[in-house]
Structure 1
Amino acid sequence: MTTPEAQPSSANAEAAKYRTKLREAEASLEAANARITAMQRREVAELAGKSLAVGADLFEIGGAELDSLLNDDGDVMPDAVQAAAEVLLAKRPGLANTHRPWGEVGGNAPGGASERKPTMADALRQR
């Protein structure tokens, strides 16, 4: 049979064990939330980078809040990011992405069909 003194000690030990588990769960949740927030910010910066030379400028210079660029489920809203980038560019046009894609740089003719151009040898053969 347990003595009355042993029960409070056992109860305290069990409560301490649950407090420790709670702290570990809270720390794990906080770390997961920090990773999610970092991923969301990277996604916003990538989307904003289509209009801005540096996508992170949307946060750093434009002062955009991440929460205003997310829907109720926590997903990034591309239209909201684009609108925020346009507002920033209206104030600071020098932040625009001036990088233009090169387009087709391959050796093939436009449209993918390779057309052979006549050479001097072709001209001599026709005689």
Structure 2
Amino acid sequence: MGSRYKWKKKYLDFIQGIAVTNLGHNHPKVNEAIKEQLDHVWHVSNLFENGLQEKKAAEKLAENSSGDLVFFCNSGAEANEGAIKLARKATKKQISSHFCTLSMGARMLVWLPQVKIKSKLALVLC
């Protein structure tokens, strides 16, 4: 963990890189949990049924949140676009011109001149 300065403000950096964690190196409890998990499921895409994710993780999330529905996705882009679609459906409002993203779907939702995609692709919104 380090700190970064942005706009003359100091922010704590809790972001980890790919394949590393902020739990330290070679922590005995982490090592034991990994060894135990190797006998079950190591990594499975959301494209395949995963009882651990669908049952235990979903139940814990629902128990500790205000809702009873859980949606798992494969990436931050999918999570953001799902949140955008949900917000638009719930509020029946368009996205403000201050919204910024790099994913194609979210760009097409906003359709700002500075992020226009020169394509005839259409995004079908649920």
TM bucket normalised to smaller = under 0.3
Which of the pair has more CA radius of gyration? 1
Q: TM-score, normalised by structure 2?
A: 0.21
Q: TM-score, normalised by structure 1?
A: 0.21
Greater relative contact order, per chain length (Cα 8 Å cut-off, separation 6+): 1
More strand per residue: 2
More helix per residue: 1
